[in-house]
Amino acid sequence: MTPAALEFVGAITLEALTGRPVHTGLFDPGRALDHIKLARAARAMVVAPATADFLARAAAGQANDLLTACLLAADGPVLIVPAMNDHMWAHPQVQRNVAHLRGLGYRVLEPDEGMLAAGEGHGPGRMPEPESIFAHIGRLCEAPGTLAGTRVLVTAGPTREPLDPVRFISNHSSGKMGVALAAAAWRRGAEVDLVAGPMSVEPPLGVTVHHIESTDQMAAAIEGLLPQSDVLVMAAAPADFRPAHPATSKIKKSNTPPNVPLVPTPDILLATKASRRPNAVIVGFALETNDALENGRAKRSAKDLDLIVVNDATEAGAGFGVDTNRVTLVARDGSEDLLPLMAKTEVADAILDRVEALIGGR
Ligand code: CTP
């Protein structure tokens, strides 16, 4: 805590809340080397909230308190999270300091927009939420992988095909697997587009989300994004068929149709064959209830995929809604990797390890 921070909250309060020692003074007796020890022991350094005064002192390379001294002694990644009045944030001096700090390699977040202190309106200046800061720490700590500088397109969730204005055909996809993949790709340094149907989970921080409803809309979104994408991971479960003649007004109970004629929706992955970038890595999923591996191999080859993630929805702990999955990765070179039951977040990392290896080999 800087002397300024101690004006707002006492060190004892933070010590009691965190159960951790709070360091304050650069010149406290017996603590002469604290700034070196703290800086060396840290995996990453996070300054939150960072004031305009801190930005100025950091940009000038000062070391006149414990915080700025630590900053100069740090050799790991640094995340700076500014929070201040919107006019102060907009001031050219502050913006110049931010630009200089970014030039030094520090990651400086943009403040959130919203209500500021003293009824000062709604400009940018708020400290981002802790979840957002936490996600950025994860990205910062990730070893620089081959996904840095790449654009990854992920699809997630189900699609809905209307029967009438109030009813639809869909499936049980939750979007968890796609969200885990998008989060992991962003953490590994990629620019991530997530095309999401109506999911039962929140999209992850950091990624650009494109909300869609129907399979046609998902196809159109992918068509627009694929030419800029280095990787496509098709984790969504688009509806495979839709009512041939959706009613324009609610179908009354008294008028229940004896049957509903269905027509197929486009196979999105298959249709991307024509518009993929030459070196793009294409990953699909196969959701099966019988002969999983055999069907998966056939889908990989029919849809011309580098990798297909085969899962059997009938297995305990695999498939829709749950947080775990048990998959086999079938690759273009014929290799098949049966992974144990693991969290979907771990499955996402296993898939992206393979994607990174494929990019590296091209
Ligand atoms: N997929 C797609 N477009 C569709 C349906 C599926 O792009 N209209 C994608 C899925 O996202 C997945 C892969 O194709 O990556 C395989 O999906 P799956 O439902 O397992 O197979 P289908 O191709 O739909 O074949 P089937 O229903 O006969 O099993």
**Maximum Cα interatomic distance, the chain, rounded to a whole number of Å:** 86
Give how many domains the chain has, as a whole number. 2
* Enclosing H/E stretch for 310: strand 307-312
Shared domain for 106 and 170, answered yes or no, is no
- The CATH number of residue 315's host domain is 3.40.50.10300
Q: What are the catalytic residues? A: 171
Boundary-marking domain end, from 141, 160, 185 = 141
116 plus 234 within the same structural domain: no
Give the ligand 1 atom nearest the CA of 309.
15
What phi and psi, each to the nearest 5 degrees, are found at residue 49? -80, 150
Q: DSSP character for 30? A: T
Residues 6 or more apart from 191 whose CB is under 8 A from it? 150, 151, 152, 208
Range of the domain at 308: 151-360
Q: Which atom of ligand 1 is nearest to the CA of 239?
A: 8
Cα 289 to ligand 1 centre (Å)? 13
Count helices and strands in the chain by DSSP H and E runs: 13, 19
* Below-70 pLDDT ranges, the chain: 118-121, 144-145
* Distance between CA atoms of residues 179 and 97, nearest Å: 35
CA distance 147 to 187: 9
Q: Are residues 207 and 276 in the same domain?
A: yes
Q: Checking DSSP bridges between strand 112-113 and strand 124-126, what pairing results, if any?
A: antiparallel
Q: Which atom of ligand 1 is nearest to the CA of 237?
A: 11
DSSP assignment letter at 255 = G
User: Which amino acid residue places its CA nearest to atom 17 of ligand 1?
Assistant: 286
Is there a single domain that holds both residue 281 and residue 347? yes
Q: How far is CA 201 from CA 74, 142, 177, in A?
A: 37, 24, 10
Q: Helix, strand or coil for residue 264?
A: strand
> Cα separation of 4 and 305, whole Å?
56
Residue 356 domain flag: yes
What is the number of the ligand 1 atom nearest to the C-alpha of 283? 15
- Could you count the other beta carbons within 10 Å of the beta carbon of residue 348? 27
User: If you measure from the C-alpha of residue 219 to the centroid of ligand 1, how many angstroms do you get, rounded to a whole number?
Assistant: 12
> Are 289 and 248 in the same domain?
yes
**Best residue for ligand 1 mutational test, from 169, 267, 306 (most atoms within 8 Å of Cβ):** 267
Asked whether residue 186 falls in the same domain as residue 272, the answer is yes
Amino acid 118: pLDDT: 66
How many C-beta neighbours within 10 Å does residue 55 have? 25
List all residues 6 or more positions away from 209 whose beta carbon is below 8 Å from its beta carbon: 194, 196, 203
pLDDT in tens, 38-60: 999 999 999 999 999 999 999 99
Q: Give the global pTM.
A: 0.88
**Residue 199 and residue 326 in one domain:** yes
Do residues 124 and 229 both lie within one domain? no
CATH number at residue 108: 3.40.50.1950
Residue 310 Cα to ligand 1 middle (Å): 11
Under a CB-based contact definition with an 8 Å cutoff, are residues 280 and 232 in contact? yes
Residue having the nearest C-alpha atom to atom 4 of ligand 1: 267
**Mutate-to-test residue for ligand 1 from 154, 231, 234, 303, highest number of ligand atoms within 8 A of CB:** 234
Q: Report d(CA 106, CA 97) in Å as an integer.
A: 12
CB under 8 Å to 149, separation ≥6 — which residues?
Answer: 189, 190
- Interval 290-300: pLDDT, tens: 999 999 999 99
Instruction: Give residue ranges with CB within 6 A of ligand 1.
Output: 215, 234, 236, 238, 240, 265, 267-269, 284-287, 299
Q: Which two tokens stand for residue 162?
A: 């209307």
Tokens of 14: 């933070």
